[in-house]
Amino acid sequence: MASMIIVRKAAISFGKEKVLKNIDLDVNEGEIFGLLGPSGSGKTTLVKMITGILEGDQGEIFIKDQKVPSLELMKSIGYMAQSDALYQELTAKENLEFIAAIYGLKRQERKKAIQEVLEIVDLTDHMDKVVKDFSGGMKRRLSLAASLMHKPDLLILDEPTVGIDPVLRQSIWSELRKLKNNGMTILVTTHVMDEAEKCDRLAMLRDGYIIACDTPEKLKENQKVDSLEEAFLAYGRNEK
């Protein structure tokens, strides 16, 4: 299978703190890839490096065989940050219109795209509401919608379902699966184990290294445990 993302020997430090030490990672085209790791392990840092906002001290990152960072690549990446990046004074629709215009969508496409993404995140009824008045989960969903606007080849989601109820989380995951089936590659960071379970493959990030990378089933099998949680803890112990 062709690779969508290739990370080679990536390292980054903030001041004296070495956050990522030596990261190698391959994400295949058309899979949902999960990045799992405790708080502060550098998940956000790594995905920012992959989008090209942050640059590491060492190593290289390629997306579709093009070197990151590249403005050209950014056209085909959708990024949803961990904290909602929305204009509080604008309505949901206006926020999406802005992002659509930034990605250069034509007026006609824009309207259609907005309708589509709002349906995916179930916000069609609230599109004329000012974001300031949104609940936390609604903002999260709108952020997701904003990252889908331009139908990216690669979707990068940093903890997308925080603050979203189980029912909606289910429906968002089924939408993600649909997007995947249409050929989108999805990289998602998460804390939630049952969400990690839904990924095609998973990487576990710890102490600046990827300590394991495989399908959820294989990860459990290798450690001879029943749940991902246990697998994760087991890998962590082995590392020490």
Partner 1 sequence: MRVGAVVIRIIRQLLRDKRSIALLIFAPLLVITLVWLVLDGDPYEPKIAAENIPAPLEQVLQNELEKDVVQMSESEAKEAFQKEDLDAFITIKNHVPYVLLEGSDPTANSAVMKVIQTAFSSLSDQKNIQPDVEYYYGSDKINLFDQTGSVLIGFFVFFFVFVLGGISFLRERTQGTLEKLLSTPIKRWEIVTGYLLGFGLFTIIQSFVIVTYCVYVLDIWMAGDFWQLLVVTFLLAITALALATLLSAFANNELQIMQFIPIVIIPQAFFSGIFNLETLAEWLQVLSKFMPLTYGADAIQEIMIKGKDLVDLWQDLLILFGFALLFYVLNIFALKKHRRL
Ligand X SMILES: Nc1ncnc2c1ncn2[C@@H]1O[C@H](COP(=O)(O)OP(=O)(O)OP(=O)(O)O)[C@@H](O)[C@H]1O
Contact positions toward ligand X, by CB under 6 A?
A: 14, 19, 37, 39-45, 82
Nearer to ligand X, 21 or 177 (CB): 21
- x/- track of binding to partner 1 for residues 70-89 (CB under 8 A): xxx-xx-x-x-x-xxxxxxx
Q: Which of 153, 164, 79 is nearest to 122 (CA)?
A: 164
* Interface positions, 113-142, toward partner 1 (CB under 8 A): 130
* Interface positions, 137-156, toward partner 1 (CB under 8 A): 146
Q: Which of 34, 33, 35 is nearest to 3 (CA)?
A: 33
Nearer to ligand X, 6 or 54 (CB): 54
The reply to whether 82 sits near Mg ion by the rule CB under 5 A is yes
* Residues 103, 98: Cα–Cα separation, whole Å: 9
* Residues 68, 221: Cα–Cα separation, whole Å: 35
With CB cut-offs between 5 and 8 Å by kind, which of Mg ion, partner 1, ligand X, none does residue 83 bind? partner 1
Q: Which of 77, 48, 69, 79 is nearest to 153 (CA)?
A: 77
Nearer to partner 1, 104 or 183 (CB): 104
CB of 208 to ligand X, least distance (A): 9
Cis peptide before 166 (omega within 30 of 0): no
Q: Of the candidates 9, 14, 53, 66, which one interacts with partner 1 according to CB under 8 A? A: 53
Q: Strands (DSSP E) along 38-81, which ranges?
A: 58-63, 66-67, 77-80
Interface ranges with Mg ion (CB under 5 A):
43-44, 82
